[in-house]
Structure 1
Amino acid sequence: MANSEKVPIPEEPSKNNEALLRRIVRKIDYRLNPLMLACYTLQFVDKVLLNYANIMGLSKDVGMNGSQFSWLATAFFIVFSVAQLPGGYFLARYPVNVYLGCNMVLCGISLACTSACTNYASLVACRVFLAIGESSIAPSLSLVTMKWYTREESSKRYGFWYTGLGWGQIIGGLLSFGFQHVPHGAFGSWRGMFLTLGLVNLLVAAWSFVIPDNPASATFLDAEEREWCTRRLLLANKTAPNARRFNWRQAFRSLQDVAVWLIFLISALCSLLSGAITTFSSTLITGFGYSPEHAALLNIPSGAVTIISTLLATYFDRQVPRSLAILILVAPSITGGALMSFAHGKAASLVGIWLINTVTPILIIAMSWAQANCAGHTKRVVYNAMVMIAFGVGNICGPQTFRAKQAPTYRSATITILVATALAGVVTVILLFIYIFRNRRMSRRDTLEDVDAEVHTIANQTDLDMPTFTYVY
């Protein structure tokens, strides 16, 4: 879309079209949500398998020693973070379904090749390519959600596919438990686990290629439904759903927004927690005296906590402001960090590990909050990239808080988890006040009285440029 092109804002659809709306949204849900859940579940299983593989003999088989395991996780997220920048650009330029499918293919090949690794260098190489592939999964799913749903509808869909984190923990634990009972032949132990998951990723990649890029190209909708869907999304989201041009002005304007950086900080702090627990929870549990088989099973409740907290986050989004939802989820995570740091007895520490997982859906709330409070296709892409870079930064720092000499308690790591959780709550309150201030400032502007809908250049504007934009809390 050229910079000079003006996009007319359509009139709001009549309430008489509510039946049509329900029919369209139901069709979209059936086509997209199962795929998005499958993609996000698989990308998280990819991550937790390294956690389980470490207690299944991975370190011994590839000759890892000392802190190499921590650096293996860190290297993954360094590449993951760096890949967000070119990934965001490509995502803005190419059809999201094709880009998602290509990255799922790369993930599948990388995982399958991991099963053949015999030394540390080959394992690092596979993790690097896996990081490149996974770096664009969540941004792609976020963009799919915002291309197909209004701001009011999107939170429920974000919550649905984000439960994949919990399902990933559960599936990963069951896979680990199952493969620990397979005879250690060519497909035994952790090698068979990685090969199996790689093949499943390739199947889901093929599925990704067949979904449409946007409502205007959806063959499962008729002509009337496609036009109506496109018009209502343009009205509700202030962004054309079929936009694909990367606007450098919007990109630089986005980076000048303090709200972008506060969302970045919230996401990084929460990701530090989840990254530490994702990589080291099995190691912590075996340090309590449990066997590797029991450690795999005792990690399953973490997945259940993630699913429940994600569903609660989705419910909260319809009932309470997103900022309050974040603060509600931070509270049990602080309790979990305190139990891990100061409680005596393995039962209390185990409960602490489970409670930490209530922080997991905060990342998707932050992403949903960011998307709801921005306008412009490029700014949405930049927001996605910033949240995912923050995710990578947090996961880079998280594993590095664990020092081998502090085993099995890892006291400095557990205290860091506690402090990071509390800071995430503080930053959330600061961001809330910024949005409140902006809305009050906007309400006093004379320009709010009239905006010419026919010449409103939606494609080229961010929320900071729109006097009628209202921020949600």
Structure 2
Amino acid sequence: MTCMEIEKGDASHAENASGSGTGTGSEAPAYTADEEKRVRRRTDFVLLPMFCAIFALGFLDKTALTYASVMGIRSAAKLTIAQYAWLGSIYYFGYLAGCYPMSVGHQRLPASKFTAATIILWGATTLLTAALLGFLESTIAPATIMFTAEWYRKEEQSTRVGIWGSFSTWGGILGAGVAYGLSSREVEAKWGKSGTVMAIPSWKGLFLFLGGLTVLIGLIFLIVVPDTIDGAFFLSSRDKEVAKLRTLENKQNISEKHWKWYQVREALLDPAVWLLCALTVLSYIPNGGITNFYAIIVMGMGFNVQEALLLSMANAWLSIGVIVTMWAADRIKCRSLAGIPLTIVSIVGGVMVWVLPRSQKIARLAGFYLSLAFAIPTFVAMTLLASNIAGRTKKTFVTGLVLVFNCTGNLIGPQAFRDKDAPVYAPALLTFVVCNAINLCILVAFFLYYRSENARRDRLYGKPLPDEDQFVDLTDRENKSFRYML
């Protein structure tokens, strides 16, 4: 099979689109602005809440371990800091094992049903143990990338990823509240302030609550999220046609099921792919450390268990930062540079925690909150992967590759924390500052590379035609009309 072959289903899709009047630049659009707004609004009404929910639970099921670290799991299991660090890292061995099965599954199986099944299994394993979560949760990234490319135009993707990605920290308010309530209840029972003793330790109750909630969301996802635009119950026949037409400019054929090795080779030789991998691993080294040691770090500043759990709710400031950053990226049409301001904020915050004396615990806590902005480059990377990598096999392969580097960073992060560095953990904080500084350079490199590549293509091929090569499974490098989002 050559890269120019078109599947029968794709050919039919192409005929339908051309028959609807999509034209080249000189023809009128095949749908009105009101029709496009209606389709986008209905799509947002169904997809946004579901992805917000699974991002929130994905974050909560991971951070449950950091809540549990100060709620009794370390003493119950007699864990040292080094052993606890490995407990946090082991999670990502499961994640690593799931990277390629999940990516390939999303290419070859019905997307919604496959995602829903893994969410339900992921919730079930949360009910049993936190250590098995990684394999199943690794479905989230492939799912969001594929759904984003199919349902939203390029200039809409960054804002949507910002909205549902922000629920990683909005969800922290729920998790911290539940953890605080369970912990306080256990303390009251222990000191005789309540007549009822909890049947299980509070940290176990936290896992049971989150696991049950995840299973419920998985069942809802199965019912309401369609595998393709054609299966969308919330769109009329005309709406489905408009939904397909309005994403033609993405120049990405996600219906291709065949694995094409030449696209894998192209991915391995693409400098933008390796920039994406570097950005990912450097973003997730801080993530792996902070996710597992958040409560321990805050307690090391002089706060007690209940205070540390409540203070983690303030992480939600980052949700606003993510939404504003990704919205601004769509407005200025430049995602790489939009990610720089909060990355600088993260560096400043990390330096504050590192250099300020321990007596200034409020200032150090404020710096710690600011340092959490290290997550911004991860959202930039996600949107660039969705928009700038084309070719079904190439996108699938790069998604898996990025997940591998995600796991690598998360495996390294907890190991930066050592017993001898407690309670300040200065070497770990310095490591995170350096990672952010390098990411600044990578974001600038993305901007320069994509801008020069777009300019080169304009010189060689002229401006792209809006309906050129829409239904052929071409990679971003093969398609002469493909232009990168900056």
TM (norm. structure 1) is 0.91
How far residue 417 of structure 1 moved from its aligned partner, in angstroms, is: 0.9
| Pick aligned residue for 1:182 from 159, 178, 185 | 185
Cα shift at 1:305: 2.0
- Per-residue CA deviations over 1:79-130 (Å, capped at 9, x if unaligned) read 213321222111111111111111111211111113xxxxxxxxxxx51x21
Question: How far is the alpha carbon of 1:228 from its aligned partner?
Answer: 2.5
What residue is the counterpart of 1:265 in the other structure? 278
Q: d(CA) in 1 for partners of 2:258 and 2:395?
A: 12
- 1:420 corresponds to: 435
Alpha-carbon deviation of 1:62? 2.5
Aligned partners of 1:414, 1:466: CA distance in 2, in Å? 43
Please state whether the residue corresponding to 2:105 is helix, strand or coil: helix
Check whether the contact 2:81–2:417 (CA below 8 A) recurs between aligned residues: no
Among 162, 167, 170, which residue is 1:164 paired with? 167
Q: Distance in 2 between matches of 1:37 and 1:221?
A: 21
**CA offset digits 1:300-333 (Å, max 9, x no partner):** 112x222111111122213331111111111100
Q: Deviations along 1:136-168, whole A, 9 cap, x unmatched?
A: 112212221222111112112111110111112
Does the 8 A contact of 2:337 with 2:447 survive in 1?
A: no
Cα distance in 2 for residues equivalent to 1:146 and 1:132: 24
Shift of 1:453: 5.6
2:135 is matched with which residue? 132
CA shift, 1:470, in A, is: 1.4
- Any idea what SS the aligned residue of 1:221 has? coil
Name the structure 2 match of 1:17. 32
Instruction: Map 1:144-163 to 2 at 5 A.
Output: 144-163=147-166
Work out whether 1:340 is the aligned partner of 2:343.
Answer: no
Cα deviation for residue 258 of structure 1 reads: 0.9
Could you tell me how far apart the structure 2 residues matched to 1:157 and 1:379 are?
A: 23
Q: How does 1:453-468 map to 2 (within 5 A)?
A: 456=469, 458-468=471-481
Q: In structure 1, give the amino acid aligned to 2:317.
A: V
Q: Is the 8 A contact 1:40 1:138 kept in 2?
A: no
Corresponding position of 1:351: 366
Match runs of 1:288-437 below 5 Å: 288-302=301-315, 304-320=316-332, 321-344=334-357, 345-437=360-452
Please state how far the C-alpha of 1:385 moved relative to its aligned partner.
Answer: 2.4
1:232 pairs, out of 246, 251, 260, with 246
Paired position in structure 2 for 1:59: 74
Deviation at 1:458, TM superposition (A): 4.4
Shift of 1:241: 4.7
Is 1:101 aligned to residue 112 of structure 2? no
Moved more, 350-359 or 379-388: 379-388
Q: Which residue of 2 aligns with 1:118?
A: none
Per-residue CA deviation, residues 349-398 of structure 1 (Å, 9 max, x unaligned), is 21121001222232112110232222222233233323332222111111
User: Using the alignment, how far apart are the partners of 1:269 and 1:415 within structure 2?
Assistant: 13
In 1, Cα distance between the equivalents of 2:260 and 2:242? 26
For residue 182 of structure 1, report the CA deviation from its aligned partner: 2.4
State the shift of 1:22 in Å.
1.0
Of stretches 316-325 and 280-289 in structure 1, the one that deviates more from structure 2 is 316-325
- Taking a change above 3 Å as real, the CA distance of residues 261 and 88 of structure 1, as seen in their structure-2 partners, is same
Other-structure match for 2:51: 36
Of 235, 242, 254, the match for 1:221:
235
* Consecutive unaligned residues in structure 2, runs of 5 or more: 187-196
**1:252 paired residue number:** 265
Could you tell me whether the CA contact under 8 Å between 2:252 and 2:470 is conserved in 1? Answer: no
**Structure 1 residue 66, shift from structure 2 partner:** 4.6
TM-superposition CA deviations, 1:390-435 (whole Å, max 9, x none) = 2221111111101011100111101101111101001111222211
Structure 1's consecutive aligned runs of 4 or more residues displaced over 4 angstroms after TM superposition are: 6-10, 449-454
Query: 2:176–2:309: 8 Å Cα contact kept in structure 1?
Result: yes
Contact 1:147 1:242 in 2 (8 A): no
Task: Name the CA shift for 1:160/1:246 in 2 (closer, same or farther; >3 Å).
Answer: farther
1:470 aligns with 2:483: yes
Aligned in 2, Cα 1:41/1:457: closer, same or farther, shift over 3 Å?
closer
* Aligned CA distance change for structure 1 residues 244 and 217 (closer, same or farther; 3 Å): farther
Mean CA deviation greater in 45-54 or 239-248: 239-248
Q: Does the Cα contact within 8 Å between 1:42 and 1:168 map onto a contact in 2? A: yes
Identity, in percent, stands at 29
Alpha-carbon separation, structure 2, partners of 1:103 and 1:154: 24
Deviation at 1:50, TM superposition (A): 0.1
Give unpaired runs (5+ residues) of structure 1: 115-125
| 1:114-133 alignment, distance < 5 Å | 114=129, 126-127=130-131, 129-133=132-136
Mark the CA change 1:144 to 1:274 in structure 2 (over 3 Å): closer, same or farther.
same
Structure 2 residue aligned with 1:75: 90
Tell me, yes or no, if the aligned pair for 1:142 and 1:158 is still in contact at 8 Å.
Answer: no
Distance 2:232 2:260 in 1: 25
Query: Counterparts of 2:485 and 2:146 in 1: how far apart (Å)?
Result: 19
Aligned residues of 2:253 and 2:473 also touching (Cα < 8 A): no
Instruction: Give the Cα separation in 2 of the matches to 1:358 and 1:194.
Output: 27
Structure 1 residue 441 corresponds to structure 2 residue 456: yes
TM (norm. structure 2) is 0.89
Q: Secondary structure at the match of 2:449?
A: helix
Evaluate the alpha carbon distance shift between residue 54 and residue 451 of structure 1 in structure 2; reply closer, same or farther with a 3 A threshold: closer
Aligned counterparts of 2:271 and 2:353: Cα–Cα separation in 1: 34
Distance 1:204 1:175 in 2: 18
SS in 2 for 1:438: helix
Distance 1:16 1:86 in 2: 39
> Which amino acid counterpart does residue 165 of structure 1 have in structure 2?
S
Q: Describe the SS at the equivalent of 1:468.
A: coil
CA contact (8 A) 2:39 2:242 kept: no
- The 1:71–1:318 alpha-carbon spacing in structure 2 relative to 1, beyond 3 Å, is same
The more displaced of 89-98 and 359-368 is 359-368
The answer as to whether partners of 2:277 and 2:405 remain within 8 angstroms in 1 is yes
Quick check: 2:229–2:240 contact (8 Å CA) kept in 1? yes
Aligned mates of 1:259, 1:387 — CA distance in 2: 12
Please list the CA deviations of residues 214-268 of structure 1 after superposition, one character each: whole Å capped at 9, or x if unmatched: 11221221222212222332x2211235444433332332222110110111121
Task: Report the CA distance between 1:188 and its aligned residue.
Answer: 4.1
**Distance in 2 of aligned mates of 1:244 and 1:94:** 9
